[in-house]
Amino acid sequence: MPSRNAFKTNSSFFRMLAVGAIGAQAVQAHLASLGHHVIELERGSLSTRIWRDVKRKRVRIPDLCCTRCGVRIESRAKTNADLSMSHSPSDAERAWSYGMLDSDWIAFPVLSVNEEIWSSGSFRALRSLWRERVLMTWRVEGWINLFTVASFRSVTPKQLKPKGVTEGSETQVRWKARFAPGSGKVVNTASGHLDYTLDSDPGKVRYFRLGADERAFLATGDHFQMNQVLAGQIAPLTTSDCRCVGGCDTARLQRMLSSRERTVRFTGCKLARLAKDTSLKDHVRDLAEDPDEDPYVRMEAKSFLCEVTLTSADDQFRATLLHDTDEQMRLEAVVTLAETRTPSAFDLLRNVLEDPKQPLFLRSACAWAIGRHGTQDAAEVLVRAFADVSPEIREEALLALQNLGSAGLKPLLRGLEDPSIDVAAGAAEALRRIAGAPAKEIALLAERSSTTWPTWALAHLPRDAVAPYIAMLQASRPEIHYALSVLWAFLESWIAEDWTPGSSL
């Protein structure tokens, strides 16, 4: 029997990533309120990065982890309130519980979305063009329910029909759960019912009829929030259960590093690196140098050695980064170096970025990784990358500088006066995208410079930020003042919102 198609369109995949990242961020914030210090365990869980040229294989490991108590959390964000998870009955690595322990938690934030769609099409000379933009505003709705993995494993779920091809052709498994439709109060839990009232309509008693395999999780008189699980097959953790208890000390980390479960060893390496626990260096080095160890664990161990023992990133990562026959592993080395904030890691990434003989996917990934280092030196390298002949490199540098924010302002201001048009244009666009770009400095550059890019950047800043310098420009450079007036007239008009170059096609 032929295998089922399993693919996602870029738009479908990005939407899925957005739901996952926003949900994971909400779980991170919720647990922070309960005393946890939650970090990203699975790289990419808190972002929407898509690797297109070489598909990056995600490690099947819980998304988040608390550095204080060591609990690991998988975030399963939903746009509908239910307890369901993707699952493959035929592929063990795509099973819902793969890589998780009974003690791990699963969180279910529920999201709502407001979508605004703009689209238009054109046709001329046997050429057609369809343009579409979708702006989605996401919001976390109500309570975030958390459960242990053990509680899910204790109940056999219902297996649903396979998903369509745009959703990856997996099945779903679901456990029975009764979600609160709003905030309210439990009235009664007897006789196979859960009776409740909602704060929006306290005079009306509503109810859930409970099956033989369901039970209530709240008592009479208890208050609840919207989307809180009130009854079902799986009992959620209480707020008290979810508070951080600490205890993630050296002994705990050492047990993780010695675990037979690879995802636990990965977790131990990452937490030991963040704790900068030098007493564990021998244990971690053994993992890094073991040729039979899982490659993702080895990379995390090597990152520890670079950050904690100041081992050269060139020694630890060059062979994989430049010579591994698996392009996915070369990409994974870049992703790991993005988190390895050492001078040697930065130099290795820069050397690959600036080497035109390296494959484009690798250089592009290095531009992204350099931006993750978050320094002015990183910004200097990225501004120079605007002169690269590859548009993919220039675009990656632009996005990285946008994310760098204020750390990149000085190199970008110098870039506005660069003799290379590509560098100056890239610097102007990056400044346009960064909140709080210095209007005074850009106005001074516009006044003294012969290039048009400082003027273009200035026109895209908030008008009230530029206003104090308008009189200066009107007196000394009237042509600059006129250019600003023309640009502002366009940018503030109705045609600017949906304007697209070459729209007559």
Q: Each residue of 14-24: pLDDT tens digit?
A: 888 899 999 99
pLDDT score at 15: 87
Across residues 178-205, what is the average pLDDT?
Answer: 95
Cβ(444)–Cβ(413) below 8 Å: no
Q: Is residue 505 over pLDDT 70?
A: no
Q: How many C-beta atoms surround the C-beta of residue 169 within 10 A?
A: 16
Give the span between the Cα atoms of 142 and 225, in whole angstroms.
6
Domain 374-505 has CATH 3.10.450: no
Give the span between the Cα atoms of 313 and 306, in whole angstroms.
6
**Strand-strand pairing, 229-232 and 215-216:** antiparallel
From first CA to last CA, the distance across the chain in angstroms is: 45
Q: Is residue 211 over pLDDT 60?
A: yes
High-pLDDT (> 90) share of the chain, %: 74
Across residues 334-358, what is the average pLDDT?
Answer: 96
Confidence band for 164, pLDDT divided at 50, 70 and 90: low
Alpha helices per DSSP H over 190-236: none
Alpha helices per DSSP H over 311-408: 313-323, 327-339, 343-353, 360-372, 376-384, 391-404
Cβ(366)–Cβ(378) below 8 Å: no
Give the span between the Cα atoms of 432 and 419, in whole angstroms.
20
Domain locations along the chain: 1-121+132-173, 177-232, 374-505
Q: Is residue 85 over pLDDT 50?
A: yes
**177-232: which CATH number, 2.40.50, 2.30.30, 2.60.40, 1.10.3470?**
2.40.50
pLDDT score at 166: 44
- Of 237, 253, 239, 235, give the one whose Cα is nearest residue 65: 253
Q: Looking at this protein, which amino acid is placed at residue 505?
A: L
Give the span between the Cα atoms of 313 and 393, in whole angstroms.
23
Confidence band for 167, pLDDT divided at 50, 70 and 90: very low
For the segment 460-475, what is each residue's pLDDT rounded down to a tens digit?
A: 998 888 988 888 888 8
Q: Is residue 235 over pLDDT 70?
A: yes
Q: Is 342 left (phi over 0), alpha (psi -120 to 50) or beta?
A: beta
For the segment 319-331, what is each residue's pLDDT rounded down to a tens digit?
A: 999 999 999 999 9
Please name every residue paired with 106 in a beta bridge, in sequence order, or none if there are none. Answer: 74, 147
Across residues 255-279, what is the average pLDDT?
Answer: 96
Give the span between the Cα atoms of 83 and 102, in whole angstroms.
17
Across residues 339-352, what is the average pLDDT?
Answer: 96
Across residues 484-499, what is the average pLDDT?
Answer: 87
Are 177-232 and 374-505 the same fold in CATH? Answer: no
pLDDT score at 496: 84
Give the span between the Cα atoms of 405 and 437, in whole angstroms.
9
Cα dist from 265 to 259, 293, 296, 482, whole Å? 6, 10, 10, 63
Cα dist from 410 to 129, 158, 342, 407, 468, whole Å? 40, 57, 22, 8, 21
Give percent helix, percent strand, percent coil of the chain, each to the nearest 5.
45, 20, 35
Phi then psi for residue 283, to 5 deg, are -65, -45
pLDDT score at 283: 97
Q: Is residue 6 over pLDDT 50?
A: no
Give the span between the Cα atoms of 165 and 163, in whole angstroms.
7
Cβ(271)–Cβ(65) below 8 Å: yes
Q: Is residue 503 over pLDDT 60?
A: no
Average pLDDT along the chain: 91
Residue of 222 and 58 predicted with greater confidence: 222
Residue indicated by tokens 């009955």:
89
Q: Is residue 4 over pLDDT 50?
A: no
For the segment 348-360, what is each residue's pLDDT rounded down to a tens digit?
A: 999 999 999 999 9
- Whether this prediction's pTM lies above 0.95 is answered by no
Cβ(173)–Cβ(160) below 8 Å: yes
pLDDT score at 5: 43
